[in-house]
Amino acid sequence: MVQSSVLGFPRMGALRDLKKANEAYWADKISQADLLAEGKRLRLAHWKIQKDTGVDIIPSNDFAFYDHILDHIQLFNAVPDRYTSQKLSPLDEYFAMGRGHQKGGVDVPSLEMVKWFDSNYHYVKPTLQDNQTFSLAKDPKPVREFLEAKEAGIQTRPVLVGPVTFLALGKADRGSSVDPISLIDKLVPVYVELLKALKAAGADSVQIDEPILVFDLKPEVKNAFKPAYEAIAALGSAGPAITIATYFGDIVHNFDVLPAFANLQGIHVDLARNPEQLEAVIKQLGPKQILSAGVVDGRNIWKNNFAKSIAVLQSAIKALGPDRVVVATSSSLLHTPHTLASEKKLPADVYEWFSFASEKVKEVAILAKAVTDAESVRAELDANAVALKSRTESTRTNDPKVKERQAQVTPEQHDRKSEFDTRYAQQKTHLSLPLFPTTTIGSFPQTSEIRVQRNKFTKGEISEQAYDDFIKKEIDLAIQIQDELGLDVYVHGEPERNDMVQYFGERLQGYVFTTHAWVQSYGSRCVRPPIIVGDISRPAPMTVKESKYAASVSKKPMKGMLTGPVTCLRWSFPRDDVHQSVQCQQLALALRDEVVDLEKNGIFVIQVDEPALREGLPLRKGAERDAYLKWAVDSFKLATAGVEDSTQIHSHFCYSEFQDFFHAIAALDADVLSIENSKSDAKLLKVFIDEAYPRHIGPGVYDIHSPRVPTEAEFKQRIQEMLEYLRPEQLWINPDCGLKTRKWDEVKGALTHMVNAAKYFREQY
Ligand code: GLN
Ligand code: ZN
């Protein structure tokens, strides 16, 4: 019999319950016991959803209060001394590592947090010491939660992050130089002990995640698998049966690692993203090994294509027999919202196209039945076919005008009229820019007053006229403050924007929005990405009204502010029926019209933000990455190249690791780049000299995440350092990113010092 399996379930609950409970605990509004009870309630509720749906293999230990890698740091007693020495309760020590702790005389910053593969989820990086030891925590969480489910009558399969992935994702702590993977022999005995304890508690099987297998691996990392998994397999019947799970890519390039798993029960592969690896993986399996076939996509919100999945499953069953195939989600469902049932405002036609976590759980259960006895789920299969057909044929999905326009895109449309030198000569006179021009990245403080008015407007409590008047007043204020500060290129402050992607999505054809479809980004932070459902076009200008008004009341050049095509794509749920490059080009064409309209309306500096450009980079070097870089860069260029030479195009990136990505950023051909830099070594800017970068750059001179107002001397020092790597006429002076999370007095204080420092250098040259 073909079984069904879920690799992990979202933790937040239907109404972001976990976020609320965590934040209440952090604010001392509920007790530790209350928070623990809420965690238990959520776990039980999530197991029950899966059990009631008829899923055969239900995960446990997929729950985490903050992050599952952080759970493992504590599970293996790999907590740096600066936390253990505080003698906090285990839960507070855990949160201290996740988010820092500044209370009761304790002041420790958090551990580093980074993106989980190519998703928008962030994990806490294992941070290891030269003399690192590992041991199993008392009352280990995976055992505890397994027993908790068992007590509720639900047999689960605990999920662990594998030892190789845990170490390979880690780093040496400050002051240590250990290569984390060299610690494998110290870590594996703890897994062995844990697996024994799980088996003793009644866990017959365990899922061990080794997603690191989708990367290109250094030999040291590859070689770590064999000893680790031989030790684990040696447990024999003293340990549970083990399935190794991989996701977010194919594992074909790492097949030489698979013999390490020869004595384990099975392997899970992501067939939603890489269906083409199926045949090759089947050939690699041992004679009794089970294939966990990840056909239900854990990364998007689209209804599964049952016919397609059934075909994939049947080819696996044909090769392996029904007992050796499990129908599974492609990855944990952590990256999908809780349930579609909460969405009361979606248009009826599109509602049927979606499937969130709770619905995906049903899909695996239905698919498992479908490949055994299709008649038993005939109604579900038919309904699925109807929904998919309605999506394929919908006028929302297909807009012939958009397709026609895409067919007519020419290579010339991607290039500015002239080279940078010619453009800059015109811009300089047109905009009368001084040396070391000062500017900001776009947003000014989003005060509670702004949020209140926006909410009133959304709820229909105030008229459009009243709201517009309010926004105008906010723009007036932003301009008056910029006059006082003496900045050189102004922004309107973005008071009308709720979110840098949603704002544009709401003004474009081809998008829909949800009310409850939150996805965890990190800790208690959730995002609610808009959904691209069809071909994208721009029915009317999106930002011209505000920018034009702002320019009309401003005596310095006003910078128009747009979110770039790649960022709009990456921070939305994309379609799964056309390639992302096609969607990106549609966004680019819509933005191109906006850029040209801004110019026509007297906006001659236009910033197109692409903070998500880098995160879209495919995980492995090679053809897929090269192709991404080509279409991502082309989309930006298509969006921005429609203007005259005298119009200045800016772009902005909020990450400082641009060295390995330098060529892509340079290829954008933006006249001015602003990049996050204040917390990094100015030496990173050396790449601009080494590569003889000809255009202009504003490396952020202060950290906008902190309320702290840097002194004028600090700004001068920072600019001085930058001048070692950049030519004076190349350097812009600006903060790291937008100022929407700051307070006005912080902004005024910091920008006053920033402008003074710029003036000081202007006098020197
Ligand atoms: N223009 C945006 C702002 O200032 C940029 C935000 C971002 O890069 N994340 O808010
Ligand atoms: Zn930014």
Residue 471 has pLDDT above 80, yes or no: yes
Residue with CA closest to ligand 1 atom 5: 738
In terms of Cα–Cα distance, which of 247, 318, 329, 321 is closest to 288?
Answer: 321
Query: Residue 728: what pLDDT?
Result: 96
Establish how many alpha carbons lie within 13 A of residue 366's alpha carbon, considering only the half-sphere containing its beta carbon. Answer: 22
Asked if residue 423 lies in contact with residue 646, where contact means CB atoms within 8 angstroms, the answer is: yes
Ligand closest to the CA atom of residue 678? 2
- Tens-place pLDDT, residues 599-647: 999 999 999 999 999 989 999 999 999 999 999 999 999 999 999 999 9
Is 732 annotated to bind a ligand? Reply is: no
130: its two tokens: 């030269």
Beta bridge partners of 241: 205
Tokens of 146: 């397994």
Ligand 1 pocket: which of 502, 521, 615, 737 to mutate (most atoms within 8 A of CB): 737
Nearest alpha carbon to residue 253 among 231, 274, 232: 274
Query: Would you say residue 658 has pLDDT above 90?
Result: no
Token pair in block for residue 432: 């009368």
- pLDDT exceeds cutoff 90 at 578: yes
Contacts of 358 (CB under 8 A, 6+ apart): 49, 53, 338, 339, 340, 341
Q: Are 721 and 686 in contact (CB under 8 A)?
A: no
Give 263's Cβ-side CA count (13 Å radius).
Answer: 15
Classify each residue of 57-83 as buried b or exposed e, where b means 16 or more C-beta atoms within 10 Å of its C-beta: bbbbbbbbbbbbbbbbbbbbebbbeeb
Flag whether 13 is marked binding. no
- Residue 509 is classified by DSSP as E
The full DSSP string for 25-92 is: HHTTSS-HHHHHHHHHHHHHHHHHHHHHHT-SBEEES---SS-HHHHHHHHTT---HHHHTT---HHH
733 belongs to an annotated ligand binding site: no
Closest CA to 469 of 484, 486, 457: 457
Note the pTM of the prediction, 2 decimals.
Answer: 0.94
Question: Whose alpha carbon is nearest atom 1 of ligand 1?
Answer: 442
Alpha-carbon distance of 584 to 126, in angstroms, equals: 35
Contact 565, 510 (CB under 8 A): no
Model pLDDT, residue 654: 86
User: What distance in angstroms lies between residue 667's CA and the mean position of ligand 1's atoms?
Assistant: 21
Task: State yes or no: pLDDT of 655 exceeds 90.
Answer: no
Asked if the model's pLDDT at residue 660 lies above 90, the reply is no
What value does the mean pLDDT take over residues 101-113? 89
Question: At 97, which helix (H) or strand (E)?
Answer: helix 90-99
Tokens of 387: 């929904």
- Is residue 458 packed enough to be buried (19+ CB in 10 Å), middle (13-18) or exposed (0-12)? exposed
Lowest mean pLDDT among 13-27, 423-437, 561-575, 651-665: 651-665
To the question of whether residue 568 is assigned a binding role by annotation, the answer is no
How many angstroms separate the alpha carbon of residue 612 from the centre of ligand 2?
9
526 is in an annotated binding site: yes
Overall average pLDDT of the 47-52 stretch = 98
Q: Is pLDDT above 80 for 356?
A: yes
Contact by Cβ (8 Å): 613, 567 = yes
Residue among 667, 699, 696 at smallest CA distance from 680: 699
Secondary structure letter of residue 161 according to DSSP: E
d(Cα 17, Cα 40) in Å, to the nearest integer? Answer: 12
Give catalytic residue positions. Answer: 705
Chain centre distance of CA 71: 20
DSSP 3-state assignment of 484?
helix
Residues contacting ligand 1 via CB (< 6 Å): 441-443, 494, 500, 561, 609, 611, 652, 654, 737-738, 740
Closest CA to 599 of 640, 553, 652, 540: 640
Q: How far is the CA of 442 from the centre of ligand 1 (A)?
A: 6
Under the banding of pLDDT at 50, 70 and 90, the label for residue 596 is very high
Residue 456 has pLDDT above 90, yes or no: yes
Cα 113 to middle of ligand 2, angstroms: 17
- Element at 445 (helix H, strand E): none
pLDDT value, residue 681: 84
Out of 547, 606, 652, mutate this one to test ligand 1's pocket (max ligand atoms within 8 Å of CB): namely 652
β-pair type (509-512, 531-537): antiparallel
> Cα of 442 to ligand 2 centre, how many Å?
9
In angstroms, the CA 14 to CA 338 distance is 5
Strand partners, 731: 697
Residues in contact with 743: Cβ distance below 8 Å, sequence separation at least 6, in sequence order: 445, 707
> Which residues, at least 6 apart from 628, have a Cβ–Cβ distance to it below 8 Å?
616, 617, 618
Q: How far apart are CA 645 and CA 425, in angstroms?
A: 9
In the block, tokens 């921070």 appear at 571
Query: What confidence tier does 253 reach under pLDDT thresholds 50, 70, 90?
Result: very high
Question: DSSP H helical segments within 621-732, as ranges?
Answer: 623-640, 662-667, 686-690, 712-723
Torsion 653-531-584-577 (CA) sign: positive
* Probe residue for ligand 1, chosen from 490, 561, 607, 672 as the CB with the greatest number of ligand atoms within 8 Å: 561
Cβ-based neighbours of 89, under 8 Å, separated by 6 or more = 32
Three-state SS at 512: strand
Write down the pLDDT at residue 293. Answer: 98
Minimum CA distance residue for ligand 1 atom 3: 738
Look at residue 656 and tell me whether its pLDDT is greater than 80. Answer: no
CA distance 680 to 638: 31
Give the CA angle between residues 377, 379, 382 to the nearest 5°. 110
Assigned token pair, 625? 């990455």
